[in-house]
Chain A
Amino acid sequence: GAGVSQSPSNKVTEKGKDVELRCDPISGHTALYWYRQSLGQGLEFLIYFQGNSAPDKSGLPSDRFSAERTGGSVSTLTIQRTQQEDSAVYLCASSLGSNTGELFFGEGSRLTVL
């Protein structure tokens, strides 16, 4: 596709279960970002990748959160032992990774933890 694709678009899970959120960036984009947006709030930085490496993981809220990127393309954000406070929209964005590169955002994955 032409844009950033995220799946699932909606996920409802029970507290304590693990979830995986997937992001398929725009082809050729070397930089990939994960942000979290709680209801009515701003964009909270989680992690970003340059190629397959993650220079900055400082935004991950706890060790229950992890992310990987393979082949310089698809990325997966994994949340283990989900808690109710993890409920939010998880947004992925990609860019060319240059200093003039705009971020292209996906539609997000809405996670609800019951």
Chain B
Amino acid sequence: QQPVQSPQAVILREGEDAVINCSSSKALYSVHWYRQKHGEAPVFLMILLKGGEQKGHDKISASFNEKKQQSSLYLTASQLSYSGTYFCGTETSGTYKYIFGTGTRLKVLA
């Protein structure tokens, strides 16, 4: 039931781009994306609702394909501050219950 994220880990140089995928075996109602830095609480990045929308702010954007039950997070021109573990949180039935994915560890090097 837990969404599967890929890749599990990625290392980038500053300025490079990355894509993190989140795939569910169940129909999705909404998807959240969070970033967690080591020893800290997860911090909200964005939410995508059923309807296949794409959102973004600054150099981080995301898409949601409800037919494929997938969401992707796009990080462009990565910065050192992007390092951390990224989690997708999926809601399957409009109940506001969020199940988080397996996580993707991202490290940006200078």
B98 contacts A102, C-beta separation under 8 Å: no
Number of interface residues of A (CB under 8 A): 26
A101 neighbours in B (Cβ, 8 Å):
96
A68 neighbours in B (Cβ, 8 Å):
none
B42 contacts A43, C-beta separation under 8 Å: yes
Interface residue A14 (Cβ < 8 Å from any Cβ of B): no
Kindly state the separation between the CA atoms of A104 and B42 in the bound complex, as whole angstroms.
8
For chain B, residues 9 to 46, give those with C-beta under 8 angstroms from any C-beta of chain A.
29-30, 32, 34, 40-44
B42 contacts A45, C-beta separation under 8 Å: no
Kindly state the separation between the CA atoms of A18 and B89 in the bound complex, as whole angstroms.
30
Chain A: minimal CB distance from B79 (Å): 22
B41 contacts A108, C-beta separation under 8 Å: yes
Interface residue B100 (Cβ < 8 Å from any Cβ of A): yes
Chain B: minimal CB distance from A43 (Å): 4
Q: Quick check: which of A19-27, A70-78, A79-87, A91-99 contacts chain B, the rest being far away?
A: A91-99
Number of interface residues of B (CB under 8 A): 25
Interface residue B73 (Cβ < 8 Å from any Cβ of A): no
B95 contacts A56, C-beta separation under 8 Å: yes
A108 neighbours in B (Cβ, 8 Å):
41
Question: Given contacts A42-B87, A91-B41, A108-B41, are A103 and B98 in contact (CB under 8 A)?
Answer: yes
Kindly state the separation between the CA atoms of A45 and B3 in the bound complex, as whole angstroms.
12
Interface residue B97 (Cβ < 8 Å from any Cβ of A): yes
The 4 A-B residue pairs whose C-beta atoms are closest, nearest first, are A105-B41, A43-B100, A102-B44, A42-B103
Interface residues of B (CB under 8 A from A): 2, 29-30, 32, 34, 40-44, 47, 49, 87, 89, 91, 94-103
* Other A-B pairs, 19, CB within 8 Å; known A45-B98, A102-B32, A103-B34: A31-B96, A33-B98, A42-B2, A42-B100, A42-B102, A43-B89, A43-B103, A48-B96, A48-B97, A55-B95, A99-B94, A100-B47, A100-B49, A102-B44, A102-B47, A104-B44, A106-B41, A107-B40, A108-B41
